[in-house]
Structure 1
Amino acid sequence: MGSTRIKGNRKPVLTLGAPGSEFSADVISWSIENEEADSDVITFEDAANGGSRQYFLRGSAIQSTQTASFWRYVWENAGDTDVPFTIAPHGNATPSASEPHLVGTLTIGPKPTIGAEASTSASSASTFDYEFQIDGIPVLDVAP
């Protein structure tokens, strides 16, 4: 039997803040990525573990100035620290061992881009890219 896959046609749940606001309707893509952390000091523990890593929540979303939109949330909360986040990649409300959530806290990035290109199509939409620095390592939440 194959592994359960994360699919693009399932609505992942992305919440930010406390209490959490859900932004899946505005998010086009998301990813949690890590890279070598910028550090002027590396401890022996960091070196023994292969160096320290920094995690980021990155992606793209639609531009919308509506009050409850993701763009507006990022605009109004740019620079906020210790913001709780939850990502449910499978779209499930409750985490489980086979469909966990990713949780943690992050820092909201800078105010998002706003702008548009001329188009004759009524269906074209403007988007923006976001990058939020995650505090520490995201936790894989499997608790029911």
Structure 2
Amino acid sequence: MSTMPFKGTKGENLSIMIDTKEYNSYLHEVRAEPDDGEDADFITFANAATGDTEQWFLRGTLYNDYAADSLWTMAWLKSGTVVPFVIKPYGNAVASADQPHFKGDVRISRKPGIGGEAGEAHETEIEWEIDGVPTRVTAAA
């Protein structure tokens, strides 16, 4: 019985850029995913016109690092604004058909939390709304 080698991603090379800056070392996990639709009560005309009626979200867990150049600080300062994001699942600099990137715009919905449990890394869960559906990029822009 032959087995095909695993070609999926395990996350060790994933790269994420938010507002044109790479934040790989500040995120414990990150996902761009559609909502299950159970609570989707707000559909834009643009979504309805394309048939994309599920709301997409950028979800994950960020480490609370309050330094000036951290993801936490960027989220604190840009709360309520829309910023671009790019997820590079393979970590490759240039998108290709075999190693695509995914990009879009995300609204940083609220300021991140402060503090956490004693003796543990302080973390904040994020759930930011993506405008529309992320774009799959397969070639250099």
Could you tell me which of 99, 118, 130 is aligned with 2:126?
A: 130
2:42 is the alignment partner of 1:39: yes
Q: Distance in 2 between matches of 1:22 and 1:76?
A: 17
CA shift digits 1:76-118 (9 cap, x unpaired): 100102x111000111111111110000111112000111222
What's the RMSD between the two structures over aligned residues?
2.5
Give the gaps of 5 or more residues in structure 2.
Answer: none
TM-score by length of 2: 0.84
Structure 1 residues 132 and 12 mapped into 2: Cα distance closer, same or farther (>3 Å)?
same
Q: Distance in 1 between matches of 2:42 and 2:18?
A: 28
Structure 2 residue aligned with 1:80: 81
2:141 is the alignment partner of 1:105: no
2:135 is the alignment partner of 1:139: yes
Q: Distance in 2 between matches of 1:3 and 1:96?
A: 19
Q: Distance in 2 between matches of 1:34 and 1:41?
A: 15
2:1 is the alignment partner of 1:5: no
- Aligned-pair distance for 1:11? 2.9
Structure 1 residues 110 and 22 mapped into 2: Cα distance closer, same or farther (>3 Å)?
same
% of aligned pairs identical?
A: 33
Structure 2 residue aligned with 1:14: 16
Q: Distance in 2 between matches of 1:31 and 1:101?
A: 13
TM-score by length of 1: 0.82
Q: Distance in 1 between matches of 2:44 and 2:130?
A: 20
Q: Number of residue pairs matched?
A: 134
Please say if residues 13 and 24 of structure 1, whose CA atoms lie closer than 8 Å, have aligned partners that are also in contact. Answer: yes
